[in-house]
């Protein structure tokens, strides 16, 4: 039995989990779910009802994306994303925590300003930019967030920056983030990202099995 990953294609948490699994070279059964009609098997595994959810062959459940990333790369880390003795994972932790809390808070409000009318959209954008400026400063000094090599920090944060950039592409294209734009484009154009963003129909019991693996890409 392969591990089963319940995922939603556009969710940034699910994207980073898929990136780590794909990079590790592990094969998993991918189950694309509708967030409006979550399968009973996913809710039984993780009652909180959010993606991603990874169910291992022994029944163990990992339902936090950051933990899925680390688990996958501890199985196999051919590109050294974790760093020697997990040094990159430790260095990335505070940055990822800020991404997942403060930046995600403002990203949601910037993306959906009608739901949060307390402030104008530009207010939420400017608050989000405080994090973008941190990333820009890092990327102006080195090619990736933790140095000259791609790490777990880049993969964990990239999907959220991508989402922020897509809210107003015209603005982002001319904003003062040249290093961040270069970094974002490198990721978007990468073979790994293209592979993990392929579209599949929503999974349902008895439907076709979709396998995700680095060696075979995706196949039904």
116 in the same domain as 145: yes
Q: Which residue has the tokens 């983030």?
A: 177
pLDDT at 162 over 60: yes
pLDDT digits (tens, 9 = 90+) for 99-153: 999 999 999 999 999 999 999 999 999 999 999 999 999 999 999 999 999 999 9
101 in the same domain as 20: no
> Average pLDDT in the 49-70 region?
98
171 in the same domain as 107: yes
Segments of the chain assigned E as strands: 4-7, 28-32, 53-55, 61-62, 210-213, 217-219
167 in the same domain as 100: yes
State the pLDDT at residue 215: 65
Please state the φ and ψ torsions of residue 217, each to the nearest 5 degrees. Answer: 60, -140
102 in the same domain as 51: no
211 in the same domain as 168: no
CA-derived radius of gyration, the chain: 17
CATH number at residue 29: 3.40.30.10
Give exposure, 128-143, as e/b (b: 16+ Cβ within 10 Å): bbebbeebbebbeeee
Does the global pTM surpass 0.75? yes
Residues 31 and 42 sit within 8 Å (Cβ to Cβ): yes
State the pLDDT at residue 219: 43
Number of domains comprising the chain: 2
59 in the same domain as 102: no
215 in the same domain as 181: no
101 in the same domain as 158: yes
CATH number at residue 161: 1.20.1050.10
Domain that holds residue 155: 84-188
- CB 16: neighbour CB atoms within 10 A? 26
183 in the same domain as 102: yes
97 in the same domain as 162: yes
State the pLDDT at residue 214: 80
207 in the same domain as 182: no
- Continuous segment of H or E residues that includes residue 140: helix 121-141
């Amino acid at each position: 039995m392969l591990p089963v990953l319940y995922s939603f294609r556009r969710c940034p948490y699910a994207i980073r989990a898929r990136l780590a699994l794909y990079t590790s070279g592990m094969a998993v059964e991918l189950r694309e779910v509708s967030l409006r009609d979550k399968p009973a098997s996913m809710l039984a595994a993780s009652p909180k009802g959010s993606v991603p959810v990874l169910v291992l062959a022994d029944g163990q459940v990992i339902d936090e994306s950051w933990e899925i990333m680390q688990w996958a790369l501890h199985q196999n880390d051919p590109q050294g994303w974790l760093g020697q003795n997990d040094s990159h994972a430790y260095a990335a932790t505070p940055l990822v925590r800020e991404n997942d809390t403060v930046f995600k808070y403002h990203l949601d409000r910037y993306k959906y300003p009608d739901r949060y009318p307390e402030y104008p959209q530009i207010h939420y954008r400017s608050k989000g930019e405080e994090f973008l400026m941190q990333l820009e400063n890092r990327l102006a000094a080195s090619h990736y967030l933790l140095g000259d090599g791609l790490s777990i920090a880049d993969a964990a944060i990239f999907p959220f920056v991508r989402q922020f950039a897509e809210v107003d592409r015209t603005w982002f294209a001319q904003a003062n983030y040249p290093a961040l734009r270069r970094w974002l484009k490198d990721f978007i154009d990468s073979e790994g990202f293209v592979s993990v963003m392929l579209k599949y129909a929503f999974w349902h019991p008895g439907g076709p099995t979709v396998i995700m693996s680095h060696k075979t890409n995706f196949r039904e």
